[in-house]
Structure 1
């Protein structure tokens, strides 16, 4: 049994008891060969919350073996869809029961406002688990007509097996559900590597997995550094699929390791530099609101952030006035303050990275209309920053910043807007705002992205597939398509009449 820490939430007076060990076979355990730990930091204060055990490669191997044993003996094809459904519903109920505690723990370790963590991230998590719980007893094959007199052909939808899942620090609970829920629904087992920056809620969720009644080994949690845990899962010969959300650079490394090992399936949701187009026919008030939501939500730490806004020249000045007014009214501060919309960014390293982009925008000649000044005091806080007069070759236009930084450009024609929007190596999301229905349809079809929002931005639903094109990823999460990623289709040919002869 690993150590239990008592985490005091000063803002609410709550004390949370949390195991700090690795979760393998439904037990929290120390590392078998390492004394390494991960330090969980509060980004609003820069203070350490606690330390958790860091998994070694041997620990990862033990977790994979536990997942394989569960897949063969107590999960996989051994459990009915009705039972998988029941357990997923139970887990959703437990998360809903503990939503306030989970939200406070998320805010402490991630920085996002408690009310947003509770009402949006955890609310979505509960819905996601229930959505896939509803699918668990509806995993169907099909019969295929080939020769009704002598042969029957049919398919089975089998679980793919042991899944290594790697989740990022920007949505630690929600993306955990996006990966775990469809995998468990079809009968896969999971080895989960949370971000080394935000391991705390993954450990709390592991407690709830056990309380819900999942058999040992079905879900295993191995906090670790990326070059240890992530690399080990990608290269492991007994992992059948690796699902990763994070940077394109790391995604390429995972894909290479997967190919060099056992050619395992990869599911990658990677970076983005998403455009958001404002046409002259748009409701400008609403377009400005969506532009702010689409860029500043989650402190800009969002793969689909619409951080490239292109505005038609005829309405540019009016739109900019509306945009700046809304950006200036965005409160930034500690996530335990109910009035706050944006918390800190995740870490000192990331803080410096975002500031590097802001400084590059200044050097390259972009004009700042709001923000762009460092705050004094503790915490990794960055005020929303808006650049205008941007050019397509600027770093702030081409590279994913993952912070509250918005670059605004102009365009004249619809064709120019499409060309500017598609001029990127990414293809995760895109948005457009227009009250001209024909234009909205033309442009949405022309935009080269996995998700296109029309007259809104960055709103996802559990029953709608999500994923990228180009260097923004491979595969889809959410919806029926997200379920299919964890299924291996087996074709069965059954002869009941035809006699074999040789030579033919």
Structure 2
């Protein structure tokens, strides 16, 4: 394993203010955005307050009626222009993401393509919002069912996919005819602010999107959720915060979409193509340095192939280059901050203390920044804390199983149910196990499930609702029923 030299990179031009009612505004205070690879401050960003939040939701509420009456084709064309602008500025967006959250540039470019696709996908869905008509059973009335925008929406996104999480929420809200207040994560506001500017350039009317970055999330979000003007909240983040927001949303009976934590099992059956399983593991574990809710968190491998799988996975992971994501050849960037790094170190130390064996990695990398070497742990006991905790780092703990029932019981022994991965060459086993796995998504012989055309979401405490796919826009629409007597 090698470590790349830290390289300076130029910060693209990006707004750093509050965006309210179509205007960029200065804030009464600011906060710094840090590069996790170097510790260097990239920019100072306006730090929104409860007063700023109130102005933002007032603007969204005032714009809602006119925006809802905008022609679907107009909304569609705004999203299409935004898609084209994001693609045209791929290098700016990729550089921003690498600088403010660490992912290697090649991976950041991949996120630009993925995130932009939500804008294109929902530009196409905007003109396909449909209803239904029928006659009542007694024949006396016609039933006309239409769709209407739910109203002003609160959108809250995490730091790990700062572009894609924004477009995955903004795209369907715009397509449905909803106005928005948008709070990006304080670790990665720059990408969200550039996205906001792109949407303004694409022709989004004043007041439709209002962006407030802040270090005081409680004050800003409480103003939005409990103020009575917002009608929906869409949140991606931790399960604990999601539970708090659900409690707040209940006070005004807001519509909710919650994409919460994961604890993904990765099952490798005795008949699996081991090389293909290792390929899938590299994607499912190391995308975004393991800092993803879809990351494989628990590897359950059949005893017949566990040694081969573990050896090959360790060989692949030990060959990766760790370093600043802006440096050529970097495979794995830094974790987001000191707290994230400390959590990974603590979880690995706990597993080792309980009997796990480090096959590769297991330590920090570099003298500066928040780097951790890709790690494979063997002989991991069931009572290790990382078996029940979302790791959010480049650590693959391998557990052994002997039969299907044992594997399924272990895979389902969690409050989370976002995604699972299954590797087998037996189609009957594939159907059987995928039916029994408690998850909203299952990757069969693949380590990547995310796609704008697919409904993303989980079961149990991994959340409520779905994002993306044909159903993604439904989260931002209400049904409206009109009863018409037959003449």
What's the TM-score bracket when you normalise by the shorter of the two chains? over 0.9
**Residue 125 of structure 1, CA deviation:** 1.5
How many residues are paired up? 481
Post-superposition shift, 1:356?
A: 1.8
Partner of 1:435 in structure 2?
425
> d(CA) in 2 for partners of 1:458 and 1:37?
38
TM-score, normalising length from structure 1?
A: 0.93
Alignment match of 1:36 (pick from 22, 29, 40): 29
Q: 1:17 aligns with which of 10, 13, 34?
A: 13
Matching of residue 354 in structure 1 with residue 350 in structure 2 = no
- Among candidates 359, 374, 398, match of residue 364 of structure 2: 374
Query: What TM-score do the two structures reach when normalised by structure 2?
Result: 0.96
Residues of 2 paired with 1:115 and 1:373: CA distance?
25
Q: CA deviation at 1:11?
A: 4.2
**In the alignment, what sits opposite 1:89?**
80
- Give, in whole Å, the separation in 2 of the partners of 1:449 and 1:90: 35
Distance (Å, rounded) in 1 between the aligned partners of 2:155 and 2:48: 15
Alignment pair present for 1:468 and 2:464: no
Give the structure 2 partner of residue 109 of structure 1: 100
* 1:55 alignment partner in structure 2: 48
Residue of structure 2 equivalent to 1:3: none
Larger RCO: Structure 1 or Structure 2 (Cα < 8 Å, ≥ 6 residues apart)? 2
Structure 1 equivalent of residue 246 of structure 2: 255
The SS at the match of 1:479 is coil
Inter-partner Cα distance in structure 2 for 1:311 and 1:396: 17
* Matching residue within 22, 27, 31 for 2:23: 27
- CA RMSD for the aligned pairs? 1.5
The 1:273–1:284 alpha-carbon spacing in structure 2 relative to 1, beyond 3 Å, is: same
> Which piece of structure 1 moves more, 64-73 or 273-282?
64-73
Given the alignment, which residue of 330, 334, 339 partners 2:324? 334
Contact 1:223 1:229 in 2 (8 A): no
Q: Please report how far the alpha carbon of residue 333 of structure 1 lies from its aligned counterpart in structure 2 after TM superposition.
A: 0.8
**How big is each residue's C-alpha offset from its partner over 1:31-82, in whole Å with a ceiling of 9 and x where there is no partner?**
3xxx332210000001111110111111111111111111112x11x21111
The 1:10–1:372 alpha-carbon spacing in structure 2 relative to 1, beyond 3 Å, is closer
| Secondary structure at 1:357 match in 2 | helix
Residue 412 of structure 2 aligns with which residue?
Answer: 422
The structural deviation recorded for 1:257 is 0.8
Q: Which runs of 4+ in 1 moved over 6 A?
A: none
Flag structure 2 segments of 5+ consecutive residues without an equivalent.
1-5
Structure 1 segment 63-212 matched on structure 2, within 5 A = 63-73=56-66, 75-76=67-68, 78-118=69-109, 120-146=110-136, 150-212=140-202
- Take 1:422 and 1:147, find their aligned partners in 2: how far apart are those partners? 44
Shift of residue 144, structure 1, vs aligned partner: 2.2
CA distance in structure 1 between the aligned counterparts of 2:92 and 2:465, rounded to whole angstroms: 33
CA contact (8 A) 1:143 1:155 kept: yes
Task: Output the CA distance in 2 between the equivalents of 1:277 and 1:335.
Answer: 30
Q: Secondary structure at the match of 1:17?
A: coil
* Farther-moved stretch of structure 1 (222-231 vs 39-48): 222-231
Secondary structure of the residue that 1:344 maps to in structure 2? coil
Corresponding residue SS for 1:40: strand
